[in-house]
A = this chain, B = another copy of it.
C-alpha cells in the first residue's frame, strides 16, 4: 500500500514541516529515506508519527492507482497485500482507507501481514525485501528510496503497470 497505493511521504513531510520546519517542497534524494532529510535530533520522529492512530487514514492515493486497480481487476484477481502488522494502529486506518478509496476491493482480497508469504503470479512492490522468497514476476514500483536499484523490472507509475500487464 505505502508508496504504491497510498502516499505516506507527503504526510511525513507535512508533519516534519509542522514540527521542525522541513520545507514542504522537499525532494528526496534518490536512494534516501525521509529520515535522511530531517535534522539529526528529529531522525527517529517518523516512528512516533507512523504509530499515531490516524496516520494512515488520510493519505493521498498515489496518482492513477485507483483507476489502474479497477482496470487490472478486469483481467486479474487483484489482492492488496500490506505489511501493516508492524504498526498496530495502522490496521484499522488502512482498512478504512481501502474502504473509502478502493470500495471495489472485497475483504476477501485484502491481506495485512508481516512477511509477504503470498502465493501469486505477480507482485508490485516498492520494497525489495518483500520480493524475498516470492517466485512470481516482481515489479519494483518506483519510490525515491529504491531509485538506485537496477536489478529489478521497474515500473515508474501506474500507467506503466497497465502498459505491461494489460
Interface residues of A (CB under 8 A from B): 79, 85-86, 88, 91-92, 95-96, 106-115, 117-120, 133
Contacts and interface: CB of A to CB of B under 8 A. Distances in A.
Contacts of A119: 117-119, 133
A51 to B, nearest CB: 13
A112 B85 CA distance: 9
Nearest to A89: B92
A112 B112 contact: yes
How many copies make up the complex?
2
**Cβ-closest 9 pairs across A and B:** A108-B114, A111-B113, A85-B107, A91-B91, A119-B119, A112-B112, A107-B114, A108-B115, A85-B110
B118 A114 contact: no
Contacts of A85: 95, 107-108, 110-112
A59 B120 CA distance: 33
Nearest to A99: B88
